[in-house]
Amino acid sequence: MPHADLNLLVTLDVLLKEGSVARAAKRLQLSPSAMSRALARLRKATGDPLLARAGRGLVPTPRALELRDRVSLLVRDGEAMLGPADKLDLKALVRTFTLRTGEGFVENFGPGLVARLAREAPGVRLRFLPKLDRDSAPLRDGTVDLETGVIGKLTSPEIRSQALFRDCFVGVVRKRHPLARRKITAIRYAAGRHVTDAQHPTGEGPIDRALRSLHLTREVTTIVSGFSAALALARGSDLIATVPERHTGNLRAGMFSFALPVAVAPITVSLLWHPRLDGDQAHRWLRGCVREICADTP
């Protein structure tokens, strides 16, 4: 069975509205003969005359009257689908966005983001997921709308990204920790007992490499799942935690933080999303909100 020529729907819509081959031709910027040929094709496709001669004019057949409203609706829907999206109405937006973020992001940037969305788009709901790895599959398959993190070798090259901020590592101890009483040197820092997250449990992280360049090693006595647990232990013991500064601002409240006495390169935290969402107005708005909240939050 041959495929129907959907372009004829537009021609049929104009013909039924105008009730005249000449007027329809003028409206579609076709010659009268071209419009007559199009009408002949429509008659063949529908098996109906559609427009019948009545005196000097044409009148629609019962089949044409039956099709008129349906064809008009189809054409309007098609034009809407192929045209630009309507302007985004944030107050009327109802949608759930899933964000996958590294530890500390929700605690430090989440309150500001939630407050802004409540003001601008009360129908939007956020679903935060922990970022346990750097696999880009959740962005590709759509289970995650937006992600934050450091771009690495496992980040798919197709993924879009935009830098949010640079973060540097700081040391953190409880308020009355012996380390906080005098100048913190690399020797004093390395001599303490350390808690670290499971990302570098074997001492292969940048801090340990920086210490080894000074012929120093630190004693890691406790390994935990992430920054929150490391800071909780450091808050209640003499352990030294080393965490990203901006990611953990709220988590470090009431503790003593200090610049590391060794040179460790900062990390760049980026916003990541799949390219199919580039033009999505609501997603673009959310990306802007995240960027601005991160810029405004110390």
Closest CA to 144 of 265, 12, 273: 273
Residue 169 pLDDT:
95
What tens-digit pLDDT sequence spans the chain (298 residues)? 356 677 788 888 888 888 888 888 888 888 988 888 988 888 888 888 888 888 777 888 888 888 888 888 888 777 766 756 668 899 999 999 999 998 889 999 999 999 999 999 999 999 999 988 888 889 988 999 999 999 887 788 889 999 999 999 999 999 999 999 999 999 999 999 999 987 655 556 899 999 999 999 999 999 998 899 999 999 999 999 999 999 899 899 999 999 999 999 999 999 999 998 988 999 999 999 999 999 988 7
Residue 86 pLDDT:
65
Please, where are the H alpha helices in the chain? 7-18, 21-28, 32-46, 62-82, 105-120, 137-141, 186-191, 206-213, 227-235, 281-296
Closest CA to 116 of 291, 249, 298: 291
Name, in order, each residue with C-beta under 8 angstroms of 261's C-beta and a sequence gap of 6 or more. 184, 185, 186, 188, 189
**3 state DSSP class of 237:** coil
Give the angle subtended at the CA of 233 by the CAs of 231 and 234, to the nearest 5°.
60
Domains of the chain: 7-81 (1.10.10.10), 90-158+274-296 (3.40.190.10), 169-265 (3.40.190.10)
Rounded to two decimals, the pTM is: 0.71
Using CA atoms, how far residue 228 sits from 275, 293, 297, in Å, is 32, 21, 19
